[in-house]
Amino acid sequence: MIGSSQKLYDLIRNGKHQEAFLFAEQEYDKDSKDIDRIVDYVNLLIEFKLYDRAEEVISNSPYKTQDNKNIYFLYVDLYTRWPRVKKLNQLNKKYLPGFSDEVEKIKDISTKETDLRPDKIYFKNQLLEVLKELLNDYPEYQKVFKKIFVLIKNNRLEDGYYHLKEFALSTDKKNLGYFVLAELSLVNKKFSLAKKRYKKLEGEFNPAWIIYNRLGDIELAQSNEKRAEIYYLKAIELNPVDFDTNLDLIRTYALNGEIKKATKHYNRAAKMFGEEKVNYIRPFIKKASKRKFEGTIINGLVWYENGGNILPIELSITESKENEITPFGNLGITIMGSIHLANKVARQSDYYKEHLNNNNISIQINIPESIIYKDGPSAGLAFIIGIMAEFMSKRIPHDVAFTGELSLEGRILPIGGLKEKLIAAYVNGIKTVYIPEKNFAELIYVQNRIKSSLNIKLVEHYEDVIEDMWAI
């Protein structure tokens, strides 16, 4: 685990990576000469792909590369992940002889440099989480799992995945092997296969609670909140003190509109784990309690002269005699055009044919605060995802926002005011933002603190969002 801080360890172990980053940053600011704090901070900077800042922190440290293997290893990790092959080769040529034994292992791993695309980050993080659990639960296989962990940590995802699958198929512990295969299916978002494999292990695997936890995760990912609740309760019955399961149950209740149950279990979790550890989920419950609209509520992002803001959009669809769109709000010509375009693109999709059987529909769209005039094309992505959510009877999380212009082919075109929109998302408690891939270069102008607090996902087509959110 990164560094020696127990608090940092707990934050990372519980999946609170953004809080871990901010904590490491604060600790570094307190003492920028402490080697452990430098290592903690740089490792998280690398994890969040803030490579320029990571290089700056290492370079400003009071420690010489040739005298401190920690500094050397940080540079190797940075230049492998960035990647900066020329700098890595220069580093190895200059300092490798001094750390030959330990560095040979890293050098071997660093021969296959690759920088991950955003769509691979989820895959990598999930694999690492699987391996952390395996390392904790099966110390007898520590050597094997550590080797695979290092491969994946260094972005050799295919190699790591292959070796983990190979272990699953060859181990003499058949239930463990089958569990690993189920985990890999879940990581790949092959929910049907994963569910089948976990169900086969029901009553046969130890610890038994983890099987129900995973089945709950699958049902929640597919927006089956009631079934998710059943599995999470079974997991908690067997292991009442598992942090993630308790919070997943709270989230499930909130998503299903059962605010009293969500609040009750939140209070229980706060007593069990401490208020500080669970309070980040409180706004989620608060937002869910305000949701009375029987349709889809989706967060767009807008940019005004005085800064960015959240654009809440209310949308519902009913069958009707004629196809029609009924907009509400103080809307300009361009944003009206985006609504009609989103409707046209959505009707061309297979989802429309599958879920609505090509029937005529009436779409009602309301953008509140009618006193404020709204116009522009950048809500196109929000409109089509809202319509598709209604088509497919899917829920859109309240802490997700969207910005991007929609083309007739369903492609997501670049938008203006990205910096201001991301600041608005951060201030309003948004956790995940979908933006056009063609706006990637502009992220350099966004403060690191903002970028580290948001899960920013780059998309080229609206179907990329559907596949990512609902694993279609």
- Top CATH class of 207-292 equals mainly alpha
Phi and psi torsions of 211, nearest 5°: -65, -45
Alpha helices, DSSP H, located in 138-207 = 142-153, 157-170, 174-187, 191-200
- CATH code, residues 296-470: 3.30.230.10
Q: Which two tokens mark 403? A: 């910005």
pTM: 0.44
Helices (H) and strands (E) in the chain, counts: 24, 9
d(CA 306, CA 409) in angstroms, rounded, equals 33
- Tens-digit pLDDT profile for the chain (472 aa)? 333 456 776 666 666 666 777 788 888 888 888 888 898 888 888 877 777 788 889 988 888 777 777 888 888 888 877 767 778 778 877 776 665 555 444 444 443 334 444 446 667 777 888 888 888 888 888 888 888 888 888 878 788 888 898 899 998 898 999 999 999 988 887 888 889 999 999 988 988 999 999 999 888 877 678 888 999 999 999 999 998 899 889 888 887 778 888 889 999 999 998 887 787 677 667 666 655 445 688 999 988 655 678 888 888 887 777 777 877 767 778 888 888 899 889 888 887 776 666 667 788 888 875 445 677 789 999 999 999 988 887 888 888 999 999 999 999 999 988 988 998 888 788 889 999 999 998 888 888 878 888 999 999 999 999 988 887 5
d(CA 398, CA 23) in angstroms, rounded, equals 25
Boundaries of every domain in the chain:
207-292, 296-470
Q: 75 with 89: CB under 8 angstroms?
A: no
d(CA 178, CA 173) in angstroms, rounded, equals 9
Burial of 416 (0-12, 13-18, 19+ CB in 10 A): middle
Hey, which residues does 304 pair with through a beta bridge?
Answer: 307
d(CA 324, CA 343) in angstroms, rounded, equals 10
